[in-house]
Structure 1
Amino acid sequence: MMDQISEAPGAVLELRRFVLDLAMRGKLVDQDPQDEPASELLRKAKEAKDKLGAARRPVRQASRRFASQENRFKLPSGWVLSTLGDLTVKITDGAHKTPTYVDKGVPFVSVKDFSSGSLSLASTRFIPYEEHAQLYKRCDPRRGDILIGRIGTIGKAVLVNTDVEFSLFVSVGLIRFSHEVMLPEFFRMLLNSPPTEAEFDRIKIGGGTHTNKLNLSDLHSVVVALPPIAEQERIVAKVQATMELLDKVEAARVEKRKLGNRFTTSSFAKLTELAGSDVAGFVEHSRFCMDNLTRLTATDEQVEAARGVLGDLAVRGRLVQQNEAEESPREWLDDSKIVDSAGEPYSIPESWAWVRVGEIGVARLGKMLDKAKNRGVSRRYLRNVNVRWFDFDLSDVREMPIEDSEVEVLALEPGDVLVCEGGEPGRAAVWDGRETEMYFQKALHRVRFPRGVDPRYFVTVLRVAARDGRILSHVTGVTFKHLTGRGLSSLLIPLPPLLEQHRIMQRLDILNHSIDLLKAEIGVADSSRDRLLRAVLHDAIGGI
């Protein structure tokens, strides 16, 4: 059962939360009656507040919250319930106005600077020393304090682990406390534990279309269970040891998946390699892959690798048999348009031909979006983001003015291939006429083939060229890559007889459907493992 649980999606993350949940319920380590009770810590917390002159905020309906928490689980011997307002000496936040940013100065910390789980000043922005001095009078983070996400990403808490001075943005809360009351590492664990997360959910405002937020005044009312200081030490040691063990479990799981992916990749790569050079070896290795298909497609990544190798085999002529009676493209293409064998990227059947896109298709870019110049009737058009591999996403289709004189030139017809010029250059799909009237923007190439090309086969060739990197030699730019009209027109594609193209696509449809079923089975297995994990954790917590 543990093997099943460890392979569940997010299993290690759930187990980490489970450990913290147990810890903050007093069920991870034993209680020791010799420990000084936590009630003494409340007295020390009050003394610390009084010493610093920290104002005590009235916590609204605190007794009702205590009763609610006590009902959630039995409070262990020696523990007490309290609030952050009573246990801390300072709860504040950072600058409420956007400061002046400079190239050199004092680090200015926002939530992103501790999103990894620990504070890092490596990529902060900087503010002037004078501005920092003013902010630091109210909000003065120092080593041993807690920083907590207060706006947007709420509740994530980290320890300040540096003596470097820095200022905070308003999205970050600062919590200072007596280390005689709570050990810093214990307090960090407490704030990141499920019971405290539930409290944050109680007090947060926002949600939906509004940004989540924890108000400072409400943070004072967060109820927590506090153990004796000696038990805090034992909890920290136990949690750290358990987390180290879970780190090893996660590392082993990742390595197992990497090995599986390498096995799949090498097996499929060998299949593709043999496809063009060794017929007998190809047949033998094909049998090996089929016999081990379950092992080769155990994860989503491996299933997609299988989908990729099918495309590789399809464009190399190894997916269906050739038929000598079918009209070869060599019979209707001028010899000048066929690339000789010296320029072939890989071997293809004799009845096929290597040709450039520009020799067999007509490509053009769509209409440039220019609000100042565009005139005409507002019409729906496709952008780069609407084109996915082999399909379209029409959930966000925009409109732009198109004149009547442009309609014939820019209107899409069933069978048109739309190819992304930027973003992911080469990504393409065949327009299927799902809407009777649709146009396209300049970020897309439209390719039409007068004869001899199945548009879906052409998209398959583009997908393979994108996977193996061949399309990159036709792309310009480094940071922002573009597949220009010239680059697309010069791309070499392997062209089989048209009837063979149809048979290739029919075979791919069948095989891809099988792959979709495999992927669904993986999803069902993952869901089963996830339900098993949650059931085990629920039973474990429910018995506490």
Structure 2
Amino acid sequence: MQLLEQHFDAAFAAPDGIKKLRELILTLAMQGKLVEQDPSDQPASELLMEIEQEKRRLVAAGKIKAQKPLSPIEADEVPYEVPTGWEWVRLGELEPQFQNGISKRNGKSGVPVTVLRLADIRENQICSVNTRKILLSNSELVQYKLESGDILITRVNGSTDLVGSFIINNDSSSQFAYCDHFIRMRFPYSGYNPQFLNLLSKSRLVREQIESKFVTTAGQKTVNQTHISTLLVALPPLPEQHRIVARIDELMARCDELEALRVEREQKRLDAHAAALNALLGAQEPAAFAEAWQFMTQHFSDLHSVPKNVTELRKAVLQLAVMGKLVEQDPSDPPASELLLEIEQRRNYLIEHESLRTKAETSVSKDEQVFGCPPGWSYEKLGNLAKFIDYRGRTPDKTSSGIPLITAKNVRLGYINRDPYEYLSEDEYCTWMTRGFPRLGDLLITTEAPLGNVAIIDISDKFALAQRVICLQLHRQEFNEYLRYLFMSPKMQEILLSLASGMTATGIKASKLKELSIPTPPLSEQRRIVDKIDQLMTLCDQLDAKIAGQTSMQSALLASVMAAATPASAAPTHRPAPARAPAGEPVRRGPNRPRKEVTEASSEDEEVPVVRRKPGRPRKEPTEAVSAEATPVTERRGPGRPRKNPAEPTRSIPEATSTTDAIRRLEALKIERATGTRQVGLFESEAEGS
């Protein structure tokens, strides 16, 4: 419990903390630790005997068929101890009536009836919007009609979470049937709360059993009626079932409130970060930029405590860099116009001596200068800064080994990933590589699938270049680092997307790439920009690592909280008796079920059950019949139940109170810290809070 008090906030701040909290509530409920037991409740064992007697009567009357007996519950199947009055049972011992859904998709005559499909189940509830009706005959309606309290079980689906899920029908006014993707489960006998069974199906114990029974065919997972019948469940007395359902409903509503509170807090953090970045990016005057930057630095830790904000920070760094706002301009730097003049002289030399064909317009209008133009900066078209090597037109023949082939799939945003590995033969390489050879330090940019990824070539070995990747051989290679970051910036990515065309896969033509207007700082400022970006990207890497470490720690603490709140029970050391037999066969006692005493001789018309001896047990001598009032009741231990001292007064399980009290106090602290006001705790009733 001290572990809960020390680390509650950190543990439940984990990404899946609320989900785990819901699981904890269900786990405590199904272990009998969520509400107190009432000694006056009719024990589940008596309920099961009543069901058995009623079933035997109906079988004898010919109204139902005798079912194949279920396998007995072995001692090693029981996962934990249950309170007094509870029983471990197979779900089939509650005698559910199963019916698979209707398979036909239409009818020629009959009554129009809404037939529920998988699409009509949303958030584990029946949704009657946009349903489909088909014509059913009267006999089909009787067979497949849903009644209030019936439970639909998803029989087949590709999702692990959906298959075997229970959906209770609480609608008594609508007329529904259901398709063959479902199994209907109906309980003709009273004594259990359908809402409790629905909640039971969501518990970790039942879900693990269901998932272990999956039959998978062509990617579809399936369960059947037998799988559901053999599920092992812990059954409390009926009044306690009602109390558990009411308590779970209350706590789940509190979880909803807590989740909404956390979502609201996270949204405020995202909004504050977005506002701070917008102030930085939109600042027109130095004073406004300085004020926005000061706010960012003062609240840096709070603003960047979630991965999404770190991702946005990376984008903002790149955007500020290519707008000339990340580093200061130095008046002593040679202006970019001088650099562009040198590049022009180099380009003219290549045109004259090496037949360079890559070129673009020589002027850039004011409207095209979308990144701004700080002092010393200039603009130039991309086609005038580099030679384009483009291998569009066809796909080379690939082999399992040989010369590496770099494709668009290898070029990521900022780097080259050699996976997947593809190759050309030596002959194919010589035939294919006729338009130019990429060099170490050249820039690669993808033109489609994906569009706009850019990387600097860091491969010293010979390799081939595939289509959908253009190699930019810059006339001044020192330009490459800055240009890579420019193409990675949000604004440039937006421009590329606006120039793209195509229906199935959007791509950009080389002719449009050549006409891109490139903001060009002085070469020395480019180096300062690159150094600053590298420094800040390292900081972002550290922030991501810190957040990942905190998340991992929170998840570990959450696991500790779960383990502390639901300790493992000692394994039982005895084996239960076999399960009961159907009508017409000797009666076998199920686990946790007391032996029925014979009090009076039965009438000639009444069938007398025969008690079967276990192998190796001596035959008991008959005794005189005694009255029910004089018969002492001997309570038998079921599997997982400790031996009770007769002198010890009846009381609820000690663990239940301490666990509930601890979590109640801690959740009160949680909400109090989050809102700054005193509220009723998550595990606290309104009466207790007042």
Q: TM-score, normalised by structure 1?
A: 0.82
Residues 1:281 and 2:277 are matched in the alignment: no
CA contact (8 A) 2:441 2:477 kept: no
Residues 1:229 and 2:251 are matched in the alignment: no
Q: Residues 101-500 of structure 1: matches in 2 within 5 Å?
A: 109-110=117-118, 114=121, 116-120=123-127, 144-148=150-154, 150-152=156-158, 153=160, 154-160=163-169, 163=174, 165=176, 167-168=178-179, 172-178=182-188, 180-204=190-214, 213-214=222-223, 216-274=225-283, 277-323=284-330, 324-326=332-334, 328=336, 329-332=339-342, 337-363=362-388, 366=391, 375=397, 381-398=405-422, 402=428, 404-409=430-435, 413-422=439-448, 425-433=451-459, 436-442=462-468, 444-451=469-476, 454-465=479-490, 469-476=494-501, 481-500=506-525
Give the aligned partner of residue 33 of structure 2: 27
Distance (whole Å) between structure 1 residues aligned to residue 76 and residue 423 of structure 2: 54
Deviations 1:257-309 (A, max 9, x none): 110111111112111222xx212332343233222211121111111122121
Distance (whole Å) between structure 2 residues aligned to residue 407 and residue 32 of structure 1: 84
1:539 to 552, 564, 575: 564
Shift of 1:399: 5.7
Shift of 1:15: 0.1
Shift of 1:394: 4.0
Deviations 1:489-535 (A, max 9, x none): 34333222344333322221121111111111111112222222221
CA contact (8 A) 2:410 2:420 kept: yes
**Could you tell me which amino acid in structure 1 is paired with residue 482 of structure 2?**
Y
**Could you tell me which amino acid in structure 2 is paired with residue 347 of structure 1?**
G
Deviations 1:369-420 (A, max 9, x none): 66xxx65756654555444321344443456785631134486544344434
Distance (whole Å) between structure 2 residues aligned to residue 220 and residue 492 of structure 1: 70
Distance (whole Å) between structure 2 residues aligned to residue 400 and residue 106 of structure 1: 59
Pick 1 or 2: higher relative contact order, CA cutoff 8 A, min separation 6.
2
Distance (whole Å) between structure 2 residues aligned to residue 419 and residue 133 of structure 1: 67
CA contact (8 A) 1:113 1:121 kept: yes
1:519 to 536, 540, 544: 544
Q: Residues 34-45 of structure 1: matches in 2 within 5 Å?
A: 34-43=40-49, 45=51
SS across alignment from 2:96: strand
Distance (whole Å) between structure 2 residues aligned to residue 431 and residue 92 of structure 1: 64
SS across alignment from 2:125: coil
Distance (whole Å) between structure 2 residues aligned to residue 213 and residue 69 of structure 1: 23
**CA shift in 2, pair 1:520/1:403, >3 Å:** closer
Distance (whole Å) between structure 2 residues aligned to residue 404 and residue 245 of structure 1: 70
Count residues with an aligned counterpart.
Answer: 526
**Could you tell me which amino acid in structure 2 is paired with residue 145 of structure 1?**
I
Shift of 1:48: 6.6
CA contact (8 A) 2:389 2:435 kept: no
Distance (whole Å) between structure 1 residues aligned to residue 141 and residue 177 of structure 2: 8
SS across alignment from 2:441: coil
**CA shift in 2, pair 1:351/1:406, >3 Å:** same
Task: Please tell me whether Structure 1 or Structure 2 has the larger radius of gyration of its CA atoms.
Answer: 2
Distance (whole Å) between structure 2 residues aligned to residue 182 and residue 410 of structure 1: 79
**Could you tell me which amino acid in structure 2 is paired with residue 426 of structure 1?**
G
Shift of 1:14: 0.2
**Could you tell me which amino acid in structure 2 is paired with residue 78 of structure 1?**
G
Give the aligned partner of residue 59 of structure 1: 70
**CA shift in 2, pair 1:490/1:86, >3 Å:** farther
**CA shift in 2, pair 1:133/1:356, >3 Å:** farther
**CA shift in 2, pair 1:520/1:54, >3 Å:** farther
Distance (whole Å) between structure 2 residues aligned to residue 367 and residue 105 of structure 1: 58
SS across alignment from 2:459: coil
Shift of 1:127: 10
Q: Residues 71-86 of structure 1: matches in 2 within 5 Å?
A: 72-86=79-93
CA contact (8 A) 2:272 2:303 kept: yes
Distance (whole Å) between structure 2 residues aligned to residue 492 and residue 226 of structure 1: 73
Distance (whole Å) between structure 2 residues aligned to residue 435 and residue 211 of structure 1: 47
Residues 1:68 and 2:68 are matched in the alignment: no
2:17 to 7, 11, 21: 11
CA contact (8 A) 1:352 1:496 kept: yes
**CA shift in 2, pair 1:280/1:120, >3 Å:** same
1:89 to 96, 100, 106: 96
Moved more, 455-464 or 26-35: 455-464
CA contact (8 A) 1:355 1:492 kept: yes
CA contact (8 A) 1:430 1:455 kept: yes
Q: CA RMSD in A?
A: 4.0
Distance (whole Å) between structure 1 residues aligned to residue 449 and residue 189 of structure 2: 52
Distance (whole Å) between structure 1 residues aligned to residue 320 and residue 215 of structure 2: 55
Moved more, 397-406 or 294-303: 397-406
CA contact (8 A) 1:364 1:485 kept: no
Give the aligned partner of residue 663 of structure 2: none
Identity percentage over the alignment? 24
* Higher fraction of helix: 1
Distance (whole Å) between structure 2 residues aligned to residue 135 and residue 433 of structure 1: 70
**Could you tell me which amino acid in structure 2 is paired with residue 432 of structure 1?**
D
CA contact (8 A) 2:37 2:240 kept: yes
Distance (whole Å) between structure 2 residues aligned to residue 168 and residue 393 of structure 1: 48
Distance (whole Å) between structure 2 residues aligned to residue 405 and residue 134 of structure 1: 74
**Could you tell me which amino acid in structure 1 is paired with residue 490 of structure 2?**
A
Distance (whole Å) between structure 1 residues aligned to residue 185 and residue 47 of structure 2: 17
**Could you tell me which amino acid in structure 1 is paired with residue 484 of structure 2?**
V
CA contact (8 A) 2:322 2:371 kept: no
SS across alignment from 1:426: strand
Shift of 1:478: 7.2
**CA shift in 2, pair 1:453/1:168, >3 Å:** farther
SS across alignment from 2:88: strand
Distance (whole Å) between structure 2 residues aligned to residue 422 and residue 362 of structure 1: 20
**CA shift in 2, pair 1:158/1:482, >3 Å:** farther
CA contact (8 A) 2:210 2:227 kept: no
SS across alignment from 2:325: coil
Unaligned runs of 5+ in 2: 1-6, 107-111, 345-359, 568-654, 657-690
Residues 1:508 and 2:533 are matched in the alignment: yes
**Could you tell me which amino acid in structure 1 is paired with residue 431 of structure 2?**
S
Moved more, 251-260 or 381-390: 381-390
Distance (whole Å) between structure 1 residues aligned to residue 560 and residue 256 of structure 2: 23
Shift of 1:311: 0.8
